[in-house]
Amino acid sequence: MLRRIANELKSHAPFTALGAATGIITMLILVFTNALPQVSPISYTVFYILHPAHIVLSALVTTAMYKKYGNGRIWAAILIGYLGSIGIATLSDSIIPYLGETLLGLENKGIHIGFIEEPLLTNPVAFLGIAIGYWKPTTRFPHAGHVLLSTWASLFHIIMALGGTVNWVILLTIFLFLFLAVWLPCCTSDIVFPLLFVRKKKLPTQPT
């Protein structure tokens, strides 16, 4: 299983880096157009659009992976889909960006645990993603969308703490934390986590 995890992380690293780059490009556009001071006050609202969208795709892919390779029990699919999306999306979108903000000494506006702060936004979409993933299991395109949405949700969590001050050290650190916030948690939730509940003989032989 450790080899499987390493192969998945290696396979998905380039696309994750591309996703992190889109976050930095977005940040540069905001900086060079002097739009960051205007965007920062609404970043909380943007975060709570992107974070639920991330959750629905995460739940869809996690559930679909389990349905595709597991025994298809609906109660197990619901539990795996919920924990794999809500739990790991929180780590990706909130906890890792918060650690980055703390490292940079930014003015944190809070850690923003979505299923606690906004349960009516996050929990229903998790179950929506589970339902779609169980009855229409597909993984490749939703996983790509999941990576991008997670990147942008993490970015706007950081923008909440930025205010209007950005330099190259901050930009490079943001890139690093965007990459880590997406690479480890998203590959884990979409691929590794559901496959932990699959019999070894049913595991896919190639990275998904």
- Using one digit for the tens of pLDDT, what is the confidence trace for 64-105? 888 888 777 899 999 999 998 999 899 999 999 999 899 888
Q: Which two tokens stand for residue 174?
A: 């943001």
Highest mean pLDDT among 40-54, 94-108, 165-179, 193-207: 40-54
pLDDT band at residue 170 under the 50/70/90 scheme: confident
The domain of 176 spans 18-200
Mean per-residue pLDDT for 44-65? 92
Structural domain count, the chain: 1
Which amino acid does the sequence have at 58? Answer: S
pLDDT band at residue 204 under the 50/70/90 scheme: low
Q: What is the distance between the terminal CA atoms of the chain, rounded to a whole angstrom?
A: 14
Q: Which two tokens stand for residue 17?
A: 């880096």
- 9 occurs within a structural domain: no
pLDDT band at residue 165 under the 50/70/90 scheme: low
CA dist 134 and 142 (Å) reads 14
pLDDT band at residue 47 under the 50/70/90 scheme: very high
pLDDT band at residue 15 under the 50/70/90 scheme: confident
CB 125 within 8 A of CB 60: no
CB 129 within 8 A of CB 85: yes
- 82 occurs within a structural domain: yes
**Residue 60 CA: distances (Å) to CA of 30, 66, 84, 140, 205:** 32, 10, 10, 11, 22
pLDDT reading at 141 higher than 70: no
CB neighbourhood size of 81 (10 A)? 31
The two counts, helices (H) then strands (E), for the chain are: 11, 0
In the block, residue with structure tokens 């540069």: 28
pLDDT band at residue 113 under the 50/70/90 scheme: very high
Which amino acid does the sequence have at 147? Answer: V
pLDDT band at residue 203 under the 50/70/90 scheme: low
Classify residue 141 by burial, with Cβ atoms within 10 Å: 0-12, 13-18, 19+: exposed
Q: What's the CA angle centered on 42, arms 37 and 46, to 5 degrees?
A: 125
**Residue 103 CA: distances (Å) to CA of 85, 91, 107, 165:** 26, 16, 11, 15
Residue 140 confidence (pLDDT): 63
Work out whether the CA dihedral 164, 167, 168, 172 comes out positive or negative: negative
Residue 93 confidence (pLDDT): 93
- 65 occurs within a structural domain: yes
- 13 occurs within a structural domain: no
Residue 86 confidence (pLDDT): 94
Mean per-residue pLDDT for 16-40? 87
Residue 116 confidence (pLDDT): 94
Q: Which two tokens stand for residue 151?
A: 């990147």
State the angle between helix axes of 168-187 and 140-162 in degrees (0 to 180), rounded to the nearest 10: 140
- 105 occurs within a structural domain: yes
- 60 occurs within a structural domain: yes
- 10 occurs within a structural domain: no
Q: Which two tokens stand for residue 95?
A: 């906890």
pLDDT band at residue 145 under the 50/70/90 scheme: confident
